[in-house]
Amino acid sequence: MKNSVKGIIGLSAALLVLGGGAAALMLTEPDSDGGDTSAPTEAVSEQQIKILIHDDKVTGTDPETGADLEGIIKTVKVKNKTDELKVVQKSTKTENYAATYTLDGYQGIPINDALVGTLANNANGLTSEDVIEENCTDLAKFGLDNPSVTVDVEYESGTKCRMLIGNNAPVGDVTYVKLDGVDTVFTVRNSAIANYSKTLMDFVETTVLKTPDVYPIVEELIISREDMEENIVLEYDESSESDEYSGGTSSSHVMKEPTFAYLAVERSTDVTTGMFGLSADSIYSINCKKSDIAEAGLKEPFCTVAMKCDDGNDYELLLSEPFADDDGKSCYGMLKGGKVIYILDAEDVPWITVEPVDIASSIFIASYVWNIPELSLECGGKSYDFEIEKIETEEETEKLTSKNFRTTLNGEEFDSERYREFYGFLIKADAESFALGEDIPKGEPMAVLDFTDSYMDKTMKFEFYEKSSMQALVVADGESKFNISKSYVETMIENAENLKSDTEFKTTWK
């Protein structure tokens, strides 16, 4: 039998695969006991490569490019072990753009249209790698008697084709396929047909919230969590847009609750804007019902993140309590009002563990030196009262130097550059930790610093109390706020005593 088959190799090129009476070459005949069904060891000739799926109503070549004309697929229906999917056109082909596709029946579900598009694009012009058996009567040995996948393709012209996908071949990265109505078995590259075996979940977009082309300003972010008595509230600081904004911190957001604090930009960015581009490990449920939401712990979520943006969009992310899985720790999450529940890596959702101290800057004196018209320091039984006045100049704010200001100390002329150096020490005040709600020690503070920030139109007062041999308590505007090194306060007092001397200010402390 094999000799007679090999005798028709030269004729195989003229046979039409989709014509209903196609012939093929049986290059390796499987043994009756289910033996070798691998691809042949002989080189595959050009005649053995067949275009399995094409639009037979479209013929000829493109007059401009010389390329063979292709039909345009209208729909693809895929039935596999888990799902039945219908691919439909999202937009048809134009002069400048190819046709695009999406899944039918999943409006409101974020579908990965690029991946869905492969179900149409991979089918159009699909070629075989090899011809395995012509006029096959035992499809079971190839897994084609009850195929794991069927693919129905319909072109815009009305041409239809059904492909059946069977078992993987034992050798080579190929799978057995046949066309409906044609009893010829072919092999096709696995990479060309792998997506037809994917589940519906595989085609759902795992990005919870897309990364925008242009980021909006996050005006407010509120983190509510079961294990926190107070919410964390972050707000956009409009003063950060100004050239006159100082800052000892470069973050454009500040913490408003549970206390006011500047933010450390390198530790707060993921918290402030991390919802954009957040991607899930996998999908838990789509078109989720109330029961799905409850089972995922999102009916009464462990954590809620509400984000308000200046483009008019508001988002609310619901997160479950983290749980251990094979990959470490994960949690369930969904956008409020959405239809998809995601499984998220706990490391990608900082809101379920973040504490105020994790994102707050240790800097708490951050006003720009030349935005301060008045500054007063009381320490060591003395008062040091500064007044700073701008001298008329056409210089832009960011170019101003000490020569552009007139400074007095306790009513007497004082060197503005010397004042700037002293203030440079003050803004190095570095909090070691929060001390929210702590009792304020009785007695007089070690030092009291207050100043007015003309740009923010705000007066701030910091009192430094001895707390221990190593620490001092910072009381900001009457409330306990931070713990700081006691040696910083002692160095501040020493520098104040040397204001009117030529002694260089100390800039370090133990």
DSSP 287-310: S--HHHHHHTT-SS-SEEEEEEET
Strands 323-325 and 328-335: antiparallel
**Contact between residue 243 and residue 397 where contact means Cβ atoms under 8 Å apart:** yes
Closest to 315 (Cα-Cα) out of 335, 301, 297, 333: 335
Check if the beta carbon of residue 138 is closer than 8 Å to that of residue 154. no
Instruction: Determine which helix (DSSP H) or strand (DSSP E) holds 402, and give its type and residue range.
Output: none
Contact 37, 44 (CB under 8 A): no
User: By three-state DSSP, how is residue 408 classified?
Assistant: strand
* CA distance linking residue 85 with residue 486, whole number of Å: 68
Q: What is the pLDDT of residue 398?
A: 66
One pLDDT digit (tens) per residue for the chain, 510 residues: 333 333 333 333 333 333 333 333 333 333 334 334 443 333 334 445 688 999 988 877 767 776 677 899 999 999 999 999 999 999 988 888 899 999 999 988 999 999 999 999 999 999 999 999 999 999 999 999 999 999 999 999 999 999 999 999 998 899 999 999 999 999 999 999 999 999 999 999 999 999 999 999 999 999 999 999 999 999 998 876 655 554 545 678 999 999 888 998 899 999 999 999 999 999 999 999 999 999 999 999 999 999 999 999 999 999 999 999 877 899 999 999 999 999 999 999 999 999 998 999 888 888 889 999 999 999 999 999 999 999 887 766 667 889 999 999 999 999 999 999 999 999 999 899 989 889 999 899 999 999 999 888 889 999 999 999 999 999 999 999 999 999 999 999 999 999 999 999 999 987
DSSP 431-476: EEEE-TTPPPPSS--SEEEEEEETTTTEEEEEEEEE-SSSEEEEEE
CA-to-CA dists, residue 177 to 180, 453, 457, 495, angstroms: 10, 76, 76, 85
**Amino acid letter, 71:** G
Q: Say which amino acid occupies 159.
A: T
Q: How far apart are CA 120 and CA 26, in angstroms?
A: 29
**Can you give the pLDDT at residue 366?**
84
**Looking at residue 242, what is its pLDDT?**
58
Q: Is the Cβ–Cβ distance between 483 and 429 less than 8 Å?
A: no
Per the listing, tokens 């007066």 go with: 459
Domains and CATH numbers, the chain: 2-203 (no CATH), 218-359 (no CATH), 369-497 (3.30.1490)
Burial 259-296 (b: 16+ CB within 10 A, else e): bbbbbbeebbebbbbbbbebebeebbbbebeeebbebb
For the chain, the distance separating the N- and C-terminal CA atoms, rounded to the nearest angstrom, is 94
pLDDT on residue 440:
93
